[in-house]
Chain A
Amino acid sequence: MNPIPFLYAAYIVTWVIHGVFILTLVTRYRKADRELRDFQKK
């Protein structure tokens, strides 16, 4: 069994998980910020 794809898979999966998490943080922050601005406009 060639182990190299497993090595790359582990490193890629790590950064995909971190990337998805950062993306959810940004999305949630923008949503909260928009909601707060909407309230302040009222």
Chain B
Amino acid sequence: MKTPVLIAIAVVVALLAFGLYQGLVVAPTEQTMGDVQRIFYYHVPSAWTGILLFTANFFASIWYLFRRTTVSDSIAVTTAEVGLVFWTIVLITGPIWARPVWGIWWTWDARLTSTLVLWLIYVSYLIVRRFSSGGQTAVLAAALAVFGFADVPFVYLSIWYFRTQHPQPVIGGGGKLDPAMWHAVLYNWLAFIAFALVLCWFRYQLERKQRDVEETLALESLLEGSPR
């Protein structure tokens, strides 16, 4: 592995460790919920990072639909896959927090349901990419990504326009967060963004390698089929 990559990994590990320390030790204990509120320091930054990656996927898909470049398609699949990992964490840590606080694991309100729908959209996107055959797979996936992204603003706005069980948003919700809690959220978000970038870099390298294999396979079958 090259030195800049190793340095990036070391920086990300340090940031994640610092974020963990902030969330579990430095941030004060919330008065009503107690220590279980600390799940918030992983749940919220994971959600924000997931949204960032889905936004990148949206723009890469538009770029692909207009330009049909390999780079844009590779960025689209990379951001969708890494985004889905963060979104899975959101969907699992949310119910783990909800059980002791609400007394239930799940409720079909607008926020939770739209979050699950968003997860399903990107699962469908990756299934289309994995199992669809033919030359139009990337175009179909890009179109699905562009329309699927419409659920992202709905996820955010759902707690504004619907009566939901979910708490109000951290940004623009009117609630006041202790500065130390804010720091823990922001440090963890910074760490998660850096971590997501490293994951995207590795996933992008994998995509390039897989495309090389596909091209070599195609070339080989062409050579085998050509008259000698």
Chain A interface (Cβ < 8 Å from any Cβ of B): 1, 3-4, 6-7, 9-11, 13-14, 17-18, 21-22, 25, 28-29, 32-33, 35-36, 39-40, 42
Contacts and interface: CB of A to CB of B under 8 A. Distances in A.
Nearest to A28: B206
7 contacts: A6-B99, A11-B24, A13-B96, A25-B206, A28-B210, A32-B210, A32-B212
A30 to B, nearest CB: 10
Given A21-B85, A36-B212, A3 B93 contact: no
A1 B216 CA distance: 58
Contacts, number: 78
Interface residues of B, number: 34
Contacts of A29: 202, 205-206, 209
A17 B99 CA distance: 20
A33 B210 CA distance: 8
Interface string B193-212: 00100010011011001101
Nearest to B103: A1
Contacts of B202: 22, 25, 29
A21 B42 CA distance: 17
B220 interface: yes
Interface stretch (B32-40, B60-68, B135-143, B169-177): B32-40
Given A6-B97, A25-B206, A28-B206, A17 B92 contact: yes
A32 B20 CA distance: 34
B43 interface: yes
